[in-house]
Amino acid sequence: MNKNFKPIFMTAVLAVFGVVNAQEAAEAAENDAAVQPAVEAPAPEAIPATVTAEAPAPEVISAPVAEPAPIAVEAPAATPIVIAPAPEAANDDAVAPQADTSTVVLLVKEPQPKKKRRSTSKRDFAVVDIPANFEIQARKVMPVDSDGWPEDNLNEWWGRANLMVLTESENFIGKIHLRMYPGDFRDPTVTVYSADCPDNTCNKGGWYNNKRDVIELHEAWAWHRGNYFNLKIGRWDNTTRFGNMAYGGYIDAKKDKYIDSQDANRNSYRRAEGFLSTFYPENALQFGFNNFSENISLDLALISRDMNLNRGDLRAYFHFKDLSGIESMDIGIGYRANVFDGIYDGSVDITHTVSLGFRLPIVKDVGLLKNLSLFGETAFIGLDDQEGKDEEDGRGRLKASEGRTLSPLFPILGGFEISFYRGLDKIVIEAEYDSERVNKVDKENPQKNVKDVLGSIYVQKKLNDRFTLDLGVQSENNTKDFSLAARLQGRIN
Q: Could you report the per-residue pLDDT of 166-191, keeping only the tens digit for each?
A: 999 988 999 999 999 998 776 655 55
Q: How far apart are CA 296 and CA 330, in angstroms?
A: 10
Torsion sign over Cα 322, 326, 328, 329: negative
Domains of the chain, start order: 1-112 (no CATH), 128-186+215-491 (2.40.160.10)
Q: Which residues of 386-416 are buried (b: 16+ CB within 10 A; e: fewer)?
A: eebeeeeeeeebbbbeeeebbebbebebbbe
Nearest alpha-carbon partner for 318 in 293, 346, 294, 299: 299
pLDDT at 145: 85
pLDDT at 10: 64
Q: How many CA atoms lie within 13 A of 56 on its CB side?
A: 4
CB atoms within 10 A of CB 472: 21
Q: How far apart are CA 376 and CA 250, in angstroms?
A: 11
357 strand-pairing partners? 332, 377
Element (H, E) at 8: helix 6-31
Residue 278 burial class via C-beta count within 10 angstroms: exposed 0-12, middle 13-18, buried 19 and up: middle
Nearest alpha-carbon partner for 434 in 247, 176, 226, 171: 247
pTM as predicted = 0.67
Nearest alpha-carbon partner for 186 in 157, 164, 209, 166: 157
Q: How confident is the model at residue 99 (pLDDT cuts 50, 70, 90)?
A: very low
Nearest alpha-carbon partner for 477 in 138, 145, 140, 137: 145
19 contact partners, CB below 8 Å, separation of at least 6? 72, 77
8 contact partners, CB below 8 Å, separation of at least 6? 53, 57
CA distances from 28 to 9, 32, 99, 131 (A): 29, 6, 6, 80
Q: How confident is the model at residue 47 (pLDDT cuts 50, 70, 90)?
A: very low
CA distances from 284 to 48, 163, 219, 288, 465 (A): 63, 22, 11, 13, 35
pLDDT at 464: 94
Q: How far apart are CA 259 and CA 327, in angstroms?
A: 39
Q: Which residue would you say has higher pLDDT here, 107 or 369?
A: 369
Torsion sign over Cα 157, 161, 167, 172: negative
Q: Which of 57-71, 126-140, 144-158, 462-476 has the weakest average pLDDT?
A: 57-71
pLDDT at 393: 41
Q: How far apart are CA 298 and CA 300, in angstroms?
A: 7
Nearest alpha-carbon partner for 460 in 422, 430, 425, 416: 425
CB atoms within 10 A of CB 50: 12
Q: What is the DSSP string of 301-331?
A: EEEE--TTSSS-EEEEEEEEEEETTEEEEEE
Q: How far apart are CA 58 and CA 49, in angstroms?
A: 10
Q: How confident is the model at residue 36 (pLDDT cuts 50, 70, 90)?
A: very low
CA distances from 94 to 23, 97, 109 (A): 21, 10, 6
Element (H, E) at 210: strand 206-210
Element (H, E) at 424: none
Q: How far apart are CA 282 and CA 246, in angstroms?
A: 20
CA distances from 447 to 271, 435, 456 (A): 19, 11, 22
pLDDT at 309: 84
Residue 172 CA from chain centroid, whole number = 13
Share of the chain above pLDDT 90, in %: 39
Per-residue pLDDT tens over the stretch 130-178: 999 999 999 999 988 877 666 789 989 999 999 999 999 988 999 999 9
Q: How confident is the model at residue 4 (pLDDT cuts 50, 70, 90)?
A: low
